[in-house]
């Protein structure tokens, strides 16, 4: 069977699968499951085209990796076939540990389990199944390989992950301002002292990339309506878990895998020690959560049903967002109104009226800074290299505070 | 509240909602449910970007309708505000009766119930809820209004439905050859003798449109892998229904709404007489089917589980497609092999080894032919008007025959 | 000096120059002159974006050739480095013999001298300058090499020339219907029996390609306003030549190179025998013609000045186009009016009132037919292979007849 | 005759001409001349697709104006039909005073004559011809009308001129990073206190717009190769003028209009007092300069011929660009080498070895700052409104210094 398939990607045109093992991993159920996990969760409630999946993103990032390898090799950076294959697998699998609505899930269903750790677990299982074929991939992914630029390609401020997701999210949301010249950025990658750098002439493209990223954060990823929907999802999952675990409803509708996480609170140790936890996790997709929520709209518990109905039919809460923390007085005032209106107690009201904050810095000094290679051989960090003196300011996090509550109590 | 929202559509850029009632209908659960029904069903198994929904398509077609109205008015075609609103609602709701995986569903879950009939039922319910605001919309949709060109805009060979779906399906699949110049086609619409026509200078664009449509049929809608997946879906649903209705599994996992259709075979009369049938239908989305299939992969029945697993993880059957009918000898030979291999009987084998045919004609003489308006005032049907003498040949249906079977028995 | 430059092409993104000698030829004045010859002549009078040059087209076709070579090699078609370089040079230079407004020029300034013959002459000169480096290129270009598929890539119904110009002309005119999936078409090229073929699964793409080409012909290349402008250009050049050669104006403004062609009528033999003829030809660009016409608007000769003014300021004649030959009676009637109106004789009137015809067949059986390779190993010609029975009809030429005359005499 | 034409613009799709008088002005020779003046001068030497003209840009900006008017009216900003027509004419004609290679020309052929002043002169002439139909247009263009936001639409930091040129230049160069969301920016325009403002939610789009503009400056408009070519053009024009005016060559080839500017140095007063100066200016296009340069390559003067040949065949000088002023020592050293190599004196060498500087600030506080309208009714200037504290830094000009010299003397 010909395993060098071509895939039609509306973002890049035709995308080839570069190695047989890449094809085999794509065919594997662990990877196929990503077809059922959307990249942007509930963002499609604001951008109806944003239904693309982690499956598609992983293929796109893999395509960019193929291009990056060929650009670097043309600049005489040594990358063996073995390394090329490994770094390609690493980017293919970099997000394989994501569950449905990852961010919401991490705050409700599981206990402090990050998708990075799960990605490694999935890779280790695959490595066993494929007789060690992912050894080098794992080394690179975990940053333990002696050519750090390979890890940089998978995970850094200019990795193929970011390049693809900005392109892809812009494409499917229709927010064209987020489009970055990945083509151009990749053509200007190089390696100095073992690390990934950008040629000097790419400096304006990087500035543009950072600003595009910032724009996508506020316009898409942290769009207030999206934030509100996601917080409501966290709340409905917490409520369902409460009802299940307190025994208030032992028969709450849920798909079997989903129920497995409603009934228990698995920690990362559980994932490590009980193989079935990861097996069940692998069976969950967005639809497990969403079909269950749809059924819950008819549940007896007013909090569960009203949250479910609101989410399913997109009758979202009112959200107020600003740059100063939410006033506690106002929060309590609204909670009082809600308690009266819905006839619920001061604990339950936290499901319906709640405040939180979100923050974002476009560029962070976390050891994976963007380095610029000058023609004279020197390498400088981007904020030092740009004639835009205060690019450094992009690393200051912007915090926004928000408050959500049902529209029904707005005018009480 | 400002009801004149703007929606970001990657296909057209910004799309405005033209009337308040359009906004209200969009907000209605009957319309919101379309968010959970993909336009192209299982095509995403071949084109991973093709995840767009009927919700998005309906908004896009509505946008094109707004443009068409403005073009026609600029050519002095009288369209009152009332009519404009009604024809806009008609296109918005033209597909509201679709269920999940419509084509598969019509061959398995329901009995000869077309989505057009269901669309009318949903419109009638909405009409009641909105105190008759959809009276004129219903007249236009059903072809009972005295300005037939309004119906043509909703349903004809050049309706806004087709213009949008070709654009949209091309965009999300990445099959650029299907892109049509909807902009240009709409600019050249006009009305003669009460019917929608195309100006003469648009004749080459129409040829291109017909060829693009033909290409999309064979390359996307009837792509052999997609066909195979859809047939497998039909088979798994039929099997599930059989297991449920024969009492072999009274507890088969399914969402409540889905179960309602597994346990019964509702006819169009049932939909008319029992309000709950439409209510339950309205609760089904793609995910009801797909989560259930995912659970079925662990079912005891080997046919149900193997079909479910194959569909869910995209381990599709082998499909052979050609222009001559499948030989019965070959079909029986393969069925024999399968019976032996799976240890099943000659009835059950039809779930795993089966043959069928599909046909398509790009242009059909069904009373809604494409008419061309010449400068001298005459109107001629496109196949007579084109200097491409045999355009008429596009109306001859092309039939393709296919045969599907599990890969496991290929080399037996 | 790094000769592996990258060029930014809005049509394909980044385009690399694959060989050093390709870079050297691009830098040569014979090739740089193509920067001053537009691909579509006067089409920018209808499509204001269509200003792209033969320089840009040649680079684009070269880019597609690089892709085609890599696709064919991946299918185990043997192409040596030497051959790859030669066929790349052949496509780079395939149009190097074009002069300004080629079609108009061939009917006015030179005598039956085709641009193909001139391309060979330029290549031969370059070959001398580069010490025989173009030997193989010339063999391939002239069809004398023992691997005919290499010639097919340069000149056939599916050559890189056509693929690029359709893409490029669509892009710059904005006639999106002309966009072809060159990416896809190239991916499906193969070689059988030494000739270029298309894989079976590309059959719908070819149909689309042929129809797109047909559309571009009628909508762009033979657009009636463009035709009219080009015919007026032929007329003004003929008039200028007449004035010059009859001695009516020995001082007619013209650039030196242009004057060299106004004062003489060089034949192909002259080009061969007198080196200066090709030297002077190499010095002419669109602007030589156009600046001269601009100056002629103030000339004493009413025919020269009125044609010049009309062309320069785009006050074009009226053109009537149809499928039946122009009636001689009508032609004479209009000529009578013009003679009276302008006070000119029956010979001179042919410059202002004239009739002609143009024809086009999208697909021609000229020995370079499109062949389809089936999976069973057989090869069939496209019209026999398509289920669109009458694709063959695309080879029937469509003839259109037209009549042009000044708007001033329209209502006399 | 139908004057409501539609023009095919590859940037925006179909563009309509909104008023009859707009159509009439477009047809006028003063406007048609813009077909022969490229928007980006010699940038096509780096970006071969960048051949678009000021004609096309003016039509594009007019299209955006139509959209802006309709957006503002929908927000209840009063714009009468009369005003709409006038502001549309103002944007259509905002650049009508440009000559060929404007920047080079202003430093060589004319004396301190800005294109803005010439635009007003052309408008005044047209106003006379059209019996005062441009009265209001002129008032708006010159900032004398009592609704200043209309002037803002034509000339300010967010005017339709910039929105179009960034879009258009990005499109034709292929530098996609310059694409701005003009669609989105326009949708968020509004008017407060009589001035054009941007709604708060557009703030990230403006940041992106400013950064895109900055990128286009350094990557396209001030690209070092483009700068070098333009400086060489200035030098060749100065040399030609010197040769003509000193009587060294009274017969230097030039088109008549071009000669008129070579033989004299017209000041703005001359343009005002001698009607023929503007008449002759109106006759010049890019090709007048370029055809003449082409002929000059064979001239006896070594400076004129070598500059001409270098420009025409794109054998450009070496350019060195940096952030510190060019060292005088190095300049003199190179000049010494050139004097020896070419056998020229210390005055003449300035044509071949020269240094200069260029500067750019993306955003300037020149009274036309960008104002943001907050929901609470307040209006703040963008640098104060953005949470990107140092956006203000974009207003600091960046200066770059450069040095150009013939490659022949590089290695002496």
pLDDT in tens, B330-383: 999 999 999 999 999 999 999 999 999 988 776 665 556 888 998 888 888 887
Residues of C in contact with B393 (CB under 8 A): 388-390
HSE toward the beta carbon, residue D51, CA cutoff 13 A? 23
Q: Do D9 and C253 touch (CB under 8 A)?
A: no
Q: How far is C176 from chain B (nearest CA, A)?
A: 7
Phi-psi region of B330 (alpha: psi -120 to 50; beta: other; left: phi over 0): alpha
D13: which DSSP letter?
E
To test the contact with chain D by mutation, choose from A203, A211, A376, A386 the residue with the greatest count of D C-beta atoms within 10 A, namely: A211
Tokens found for residue B322: 């050609």
pLDDT in tens, B7-50: 999 999 888 898 999 999 999 999 999 999 999 999 999 999 99
User: In the predicted model, is pLDDT for residue C150 greater than 60?
Assistant: yes
HSE toward the beta carbon, residue C214, CA cutoff 13 A? 28
Choose among D293, D149, D277, D291: nearest CA to D235: D293
Task: Name the CA radius of gyration of chain D, rounded.
Answer: 23
Q: Is B7 on the interface with A (CB under 8 A)?
A: yes
The dihedral through the CA atoms of A37, A38, A41, A46 has a sign that is: negative
- For residues C34-54, average pLDDT: 96
HSE toward the beta carbon, residue A278, CA cutoff 13 A? 24
Residues of A in contact with B27 (CB under 8 A): 314-315
Q: What distance in Å separates the CA atoms of residue D242 and residue D236, rounded to the nearest whole number?
A: 10
What is the value of pTM for the model shown?
0.86
| Structural domains of chain A, with CATH | 6-93+134-222+366-396 (1.10.3210.10), 224-359+402-409 (1.20.1250.30)
Q: Is C173 on the interface with D (CB under 8 A)?
A: yes
pLDDT in tens, A200-240: 888 878 888 888 888 888 889 989 999 999 999 999 999 99
Q: Which residue of C has its CA nearest to B223?
A: C201
Q: Is B205 on the interface with C (CB under 8 A)?
A: yes
Chains in contact with C, counting 3 or more C-beta pairs less than 8 Å apart as contact: A, B, D
DSSP reduced 3-state for C192: strand
DSSP reduced 3-state for D106: helix
| Cα–Cα distances in angstroms (integers) from residue B259 to residues A310, A313, B280, D325, in the given order | 24, 21, 10, 79
> Of the spans B200-204, C205-209, D112-116, D191-195, which averages the highest pLDDT?
D191-195
Asked if A213 and A167 touch (Cβ cutoff 8 Å), the reply is: no
Tokens found for residue B153: 């805009």
Residue C328's φ and ψ, nearest 5 degrees, are -65, -35
| Cα–Cα distances in angstroms (integers) from residue C157 to residues B296, C160, C354, C381, D256, in the given order | 53, 9, 33, 12, 46
Q: Is B56 on the interface with A (CB under 8 A)?
A: yes
Q: Do A313 and B32 touch (CB under 8 A)?
A: yes
Pairing of strands A371-373, B371-373: unpaired
Asked if C108 and C236 touch (Cβ cutoff 8 Å), the reply is: no
Q: What distance in Å separates the CA atoms of residue A116 and residue A155, rounded to the nearest whole number?
A: 11
pLDDT of residue D1: 41
pLDDT in tens, D60-119: 999 999 999 999 998 999 999 999 999 999 999 999 999 999 888 887 888 788 899 999
To test the contact with chain C by mutation, choose from D174, D177, D291, D312 the residue with the greatest count of C C-beta atoms within 10 A, namely: D291
Residues of A in contact with D180 (CB under 8 A): 177
Q: What distance in Å separates the CA atoms of residue A404 and residue A320, rounded to the nearest whole number?
A: 7
- D197 forms beta bridges with D190
User: In the predicted model, is pLDDT for residue A1 greater than 60?
Assistant: no
Strand arrangement of the beta sheet that strand D195-199 belongs to: D189-192, D195-199, D371-373, D379-381
Residue B269's φ and ψ, nearest 5 degrees, are -65, -40
Q: Is D176 on the interface with A (CB under 8 A)?
A: yes
A309 contacts: CB under 8 Å, gap ≥ 6: A297, A315
| Cα–Cα distances in angstroms (integers) from residue D360 to residues A387, C137, D227, in the given order | 12, 47, 13
- For residues B180-184, average pLDDT: 82
Secondary structure in 3-state letters for chain B:
CCCCCEEEECCCEEEECCCHHHHHHHHCHHHHHHHHCECCHHHHHCCCCCCCEHHHHHHHHHHHHHHHHHHHHHCCCCCCHHHHHHHHHHHHCCCCCCCCCHHHHHCCCCECCCHHHHHHHHHHHHHHHCCCCCHHHHHHHCCCCCCHHHHHHHCCCCCHHHHHHHHHHHHHHCCHHHCCCHHHHHHCEEEECCEEEEEHHHHHHHHHHHHHHHHHHHHHHCCHHHHHHHHHHHHHHHHHHHHHHCCCCCCCCCCHHHHHHHCCCCEHHHHHHCHHHHHHHHCCCHHHHHHHHHHHCCCCCHHHHHHHHHHHCCCCCEEEEECCCCCHHHHHHHHHHHHHHHCCCCCHHHHCCEEEEEEECCCCCCCCCCEEECCCCCEEEHHHHCCCHHHHHHHCCEEEEEEEECHHHCCC
Pairing of strands C195-199, C371-373: parallel
Cα dihedral D141→D144→D150→D156 (10° resolution): 70
Choose among C30, C99, C285: nearest CA to D290: C285
Q: What distance in Å separates the CA atoms of residue C183 and residue C162, rounded to the nearest whole number?
A: 13
Q: Do A256 and B256 touch (CB under 8 A)?
A: no
- For residues D9-21, average pLDDT: 91
- For residues C8-19, average pLDDT: 90
A18: which DSSP letter?
-
pLDDT in tens, A317-353: 999 998 899 999 999 999 999 999 999 999 999 999 9
- What ipTM does this complex have? 0.93
- For residues D120-137, average pLDDT: 97
Residues of B in contact with A6 (CB under 8 A): none
Choose among A326, A113, A356: nearest CA to A232: A356
Choose among B113, B139, B114: nearest CA to B127: B139
Terminal C-alpha separation, chain B: 67
Q: Is C71 on the interface with D (CB under 8 A)?
A: no
pLDDT of residue B1: 41
Q: Do B183 and D13 touch (CB under 8 A)?
A: yes
| Cα–Cα distances in angstroms (integers) from residue A90 to residues A35, A85, D165, in the given order | 18, 9, 42
User: In the predicted model, is pLDDT for residue D373 greater than 70?
Assistant: yes
Q: Which residue of A has its CA nearest to B256?
A: A295
Q: Is D253 on the interface with A (CB under 8 A)?
A: no
B188 contacts: CB under 8 Å, gap ≥ 6: B198, B199, B201, B202, B205
Share of chain A above pLDDT 70, in %: 95
Q: Is B11 on the interface with A (CB under 8 A)?
A: yes
DSSP-assigned states of every residue in A273-302: H-HHHHHHHHT--HHHHHHHHHHHTT-S-H
| Cα–Cα distances in angstroms (integers) from residue A183 to residues A66, A109, B81, C213, C324, in the given order | 12, 39, 48, 30, 52
Residues of A in contact with D218 (CB under 8 A): 204
Pairing of strands C398-405, D6-9: unpaired
Q: Is A171 on the interface with B (CB under 8 A)?
A: yes
Q: What distance in Å separates the CA atoms of residue A248 and residue A240, rounded to the nearest whole number?
A: 10
- C196 forms beta bridges with C191
To test the contact with chain C by mutation, choose from A3, A9, A14, A64 the residue with the greatest count of C C-beta atoms within 10 A, namely: A14
Tokens found for residue C223: 């657009």
Lowest average pLDDT, out of A307-311, C81-85, C110-114, goes to C110-114
Tokens found for residue D148: 């200043």
Closest CB to A14 among C13, C14, C187: C187
HSE toward the beta carbon, residue B218, CA cutoff 13 A? 27
**Strand intervals (E) in C208-273:** none
Q: What distance in Å separates the CA atoms of residue D382 and residue D372, rounded to the nearest whole number?
A: 6
Chains in contact with B, counting 3 or more C-beta pairs less than 8 Å apart as contact: A, C, D
DSSP reduced 3-state for D319: strand
Instruction: Outline where D49-202 has alpha helix (H).
Output: 54-74, 81-92, 102-106, 115-129, 135-141, 148-154, 160-173, 182-187
- For residues C280-299, average pLDDT: 96
Q: How far is C244 from chain D (nearest CA, A)?
A: 18
Q: What share of chain C is helix, strand, coil (3-state, %, to 5)?
A: 55, 10, 35
Cα dihedral D131→D132→D134→D139 (10° resolution): 170
Q: Do A6 and C187 touch (CB under 8 A)?
A: yes
User: In the predicted model, is pLDDT for residue D380 greater than 60?
Assistant: yes
Residues of A in contact with B9 (CB under 8 A): 48-49, 174
Identify the H or E element spanning A354: strand A354-360
| Cα–Cα distances in angstroms (integers) from residue C255 to residues C39, C96, C280, D280, in the given order | 22, 21, 11, 19
Placement of tokens 């496209």 in the chain: C382
pLDDT of residue D383: 77
CA angle B232, B234, B239 (to 5 degrees): 95
Q: Is D183 on the interface with B (CB under 8 A)?
A: yes
Q: Do C207 and B211 touch (CB under 8 A)?
A: yes
Lowest average pLDDT, out of A146-150, B201-205, B331-335, goes to B201-205
Asked if B9 and A174 touch (Cβ cutoff 8 Å), the reply is: yes
Identify the H or E element spanning C7: strand C6-9
Share of chain B above pLDDT 90, in %: 70
Chains in contact with A, counting 3 or more C-beta pairs less than 8 Å apart as contact: B, C, D
Q: Do D283 and C290 touch (CB under 8 A)?
A: no
């Amino acid at each position: 069977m010909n395993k060098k398939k071509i895939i039609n990607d509306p973002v890049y045109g035709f995308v080839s699968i570069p190695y047989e093992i890449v094809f085999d991993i794509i065919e594997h159920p662990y990877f196929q499951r990503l077809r059922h996990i959307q990249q942007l969760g509930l963002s499609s409630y604001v951008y109806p085209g944003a239904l693309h999946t982690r499956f598609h993103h992983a293929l796109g990032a893999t395509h960019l990796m193929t291009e990056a390898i060929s650009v670097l090799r043309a600049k005489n950076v040594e990358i063996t076939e073995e390394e090329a294959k490994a770094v390609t697998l690493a980017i293919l699998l970099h997000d394989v540990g994501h569950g449905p609505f990852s961010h919401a899930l991490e705050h409700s269903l599981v206990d402090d389990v990050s998708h990075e750790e799960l990605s490694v677990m999935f890779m280790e299982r695959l490595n066993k199944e494929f007789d060690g074929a992912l050894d080098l991939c794992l080394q690179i992914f975990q940053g333990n390989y002696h050519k750090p630029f390979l890890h940089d390609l998978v995970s850094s401020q200019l990795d193929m992950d970011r390049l693809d997701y900005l392109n892809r999210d812009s494409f499917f949301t229709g927010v064209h301002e987020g489009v970055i010249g990945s083509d151009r950025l990749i053509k200007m990658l190089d390696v100095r002292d073992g690390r990934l750098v950008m040629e000097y002439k790419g400096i304006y493209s990087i500035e543009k990339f950072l600003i595009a990223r910032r724009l996508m954060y506020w316009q898409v990823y942290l769009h207030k309506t999206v934030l509100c929907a996601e917080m409501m999802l966290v709340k409905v999952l917490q409520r369902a878990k409460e009802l299940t675990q307190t025994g208030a409803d032992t028969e709450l509708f849920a798909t079997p895998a989903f129920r497995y996480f409603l009934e228990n609170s698995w920690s990362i140790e559980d994932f490590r020690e009980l193989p079935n936890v990861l097996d069940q996790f692998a069976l969950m997709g967005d639809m497990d959560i969403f079909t269950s929520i749809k059924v819950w709209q008819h549940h007896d518990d007013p909090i569960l049903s009203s949250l479910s109905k609101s989410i399913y039919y997109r009758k979202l809460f009112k959200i107020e967002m600003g740059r100063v923390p939410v006033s506690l007085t106002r929060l309590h005032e609204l909670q009082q109104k809600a308690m009266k209106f819905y006839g619920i107690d001061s604990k339950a009201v936290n499901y319906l009226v709640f405040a939180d904050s979100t923050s974002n810095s476009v560029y962070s000094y976390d050891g994976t800074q963007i380095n610029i290679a000058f023609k004279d051989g020197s390498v400088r960090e981007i904020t030092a290299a740009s004639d835009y003196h205060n690019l450094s300011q992009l690393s200051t996090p912007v915090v926004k505070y928000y408050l959500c509550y049902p529209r029904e109590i707005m005018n009480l």
